Amino acid sequence: MTYSLIVTLWALLALAFTLVAIGSTRQLYTRAREAARRPRLWPHIALVRPCEGLDPSLAETLRSSATAKYDGARTIFFCVPSTADPAWAVAGRVRDELCAAGADARLVVTAIETRANRKAAQLAVVDAHLPAEAPVLVIADSDVMLDDESLPSLMSALVSERDAGAASAPPIDVSAATAGDRWSAALLSSTPHALLALAALSERSGGSETIRSKLAASRSP
Domains, in order of start, for the chain: 37-219 (3.90.550.10)
Of the candidates 141, 150, 147, 49, the one whose C-alpha atom is nearest the C-alpha of residue 94 is 49
The predicted pLDDT at position 68 comes to 96
Per the CB < 8 A criterion, the answer to whether 217 and 72 are in contact is no
List Cα–Cα distances, 157 to 28, 73, 164, in angstroms.
11, 18, 8
Answer yes or no: is pLDDT of 102 > 70. yes
Pairing of strands 136-140, 45-50: parallel
Average pLDDT over residues 3-23: 75
For residue 76, what are the contacts with CB-CB under 8 A and spacing of at least 6?
Answer: 47, 49, 65, 66, 98, 103, 104, 105, 106
119 CB contacts (<8 Å, ≥6 apart)?
Answer: 50, 52, 141, 213
Radius of gyration of the chain (CA): 20
Residue with the larger pLDDT of the pair 147 and 22:
147
Is the pLDDT assigned to residue 173 strictly greater than 90?
no
Mean pLDDT of 104-110: 97
Q: What is the pTM of this model?
A: 0.77
